[in-house]
Structure 1
């Protein structure tokens, strides 16, 4: 039985679909919903560690996603700001360490060369996760 759902968002339209689906699932199943945004770090070894977003941008992404989730029927929504060098690893690790039994992520239209070059957080999460993963489109 699903009791804890983790939904990852990056503020894009694709992740908005994931938030709506996760909220609907949480409402129907009576599960707790946590929404996370991973602020990905770049650089570091010989230069400064630089994050993709400023803290206020992360807050804006999370607040917006939480509002969408509440509108879609989720009651108590937790917002989580994670920091990592790799989004998929951060999502999977947080879910496992905190006892989540379902992860919901969105996916874009990456195909062909762009998929090979850019990778896919959704595919990586699905391949690494200890629990069920739903990929929303």
Structure 2
């Protein structure tokens, strides 16, 4: 009987240790997944002048100016094009908007780039989302 109790205790001890070796949803060991935590910054850059609500640049020019700022400041970027709209004093306005995704950077560098965009595109602000994420460059 004592032998069975010893075996049972050994099995229970082994089972209790299993969570330390559990894998995260990504398939990586849980400890490794935590080491890859990152913040993805998503910037929404409008292209209408803050005072006139008219485009500052053509869509092609706006894209090129944004690319220049981003490649110079970050060495890379992802941009999506979007169209937004709002009502101001009963009048509907439409705006070509660039959605910019940045990772592996700091809030200070993002704010510096946003300040340049505010000036270049004559904006009152740039909307910034900071989303905690886990980043992985997968290679089979």
Structure 1 length-normalised TM: 0.29
Which entry has the higher C-alpha Rg, 1 or 2?
A: 2
